Amino acid sequence: MSARRLQLVWCIRQEPDAVLKVAFASTDRRRVNQHFGAAEGFVVFEVTPDKATLVGVGEFAEEAMDGNENKLAAKVDFLAGCHAVYVMAIGASAIKQLMSKGIQPIRVNEVDAIDDLLADVSDCSYQDQFDMKTPQVAIETQTAQNPAVFRPIGADGYVHIVMPMTMR
């Protein structure tokens, strides 16, 4: 089987102000259950504060986890425009290729339901998460395509990671 790509290309609904595009490595489109390099499928959602909309499905031929780097290019290309991709596992080369395209790989430790992860993404991305209760905050960035890190200075607590998103 060659790679197949299904994508929503037009919709009559009005686009929201902010969209976070997130992909999931999945065989059944319900759970994250694939290693990136051997993934047979990805589902792509646009996440807004109100909802998540399925906008793409990619299917790929079954691949062995054999160190063959050539199999990664089609998957990385399919994920172009995504801000993050959730996977069960991922190799160093795939991480490097994704990061070079501004896509943050996120590894889950167990088979997670995509609906639950979408709810988490929506909650974490759009609610006021910066109540650090400290007068000074360090902001660490590399490029506009990579996540930013907010660290409270002089206080223990959470480190906040902000994913870049396209504003329309």
What pLDDT, on a 0 to 100 scale, did the predictor assign at position 9?
47
73: DSSP letter: H
Q: Is 154 left (phi over 0), alpha (psi -120 to 50) or beta?
A: left
Determine if the pTM surpasses 0.75. no
CA–CA distance, 126 with 20 (Å, rounded to integer): 10
Parallel, antiparallel or unpaired: strands 84-87 and 104-107? parallel
How far apart (Å, rounded) are the C-alpha atoms in residues 89 and 25? 10
Query: Where do the domains of the chain lie, and which CATH numbers do they carry?
Result: 4-129 (3.30.420.130)
Task: Give the pLDDT of residue 13.
Answer: 55
List the beta bridge partners of residue 59.
4, 41
Residues 6+ away with beta carbon under 8 Å from 39 = 25, 60, 75, 87
pLDDT for 39: 92
Helix (H) or strand (E) holding 126: helix 114-126
pLDDT tens per residue across span 89-121: 999 899 999 999 989 999 987 778 999 888 887
Query: pLDDT below 50 — which residues of the chain?
Result: 1, 8-10, 16, 125-130
Model pLDDT, residue 127: 42
Amino acid of residue 140 = E
Identity of the amino acid at 65: M
Two structure tokens written together for 121: 């993404």
- Residue 155 to residue 138: CA distance in whole angstroms: 11
- Buried b / exposed e across 80-107, counting CB within 10 Å, b at 16+? eebbbbbbbbbbeebbebbbeebbbbbe
Tokens of 53: 């909309």
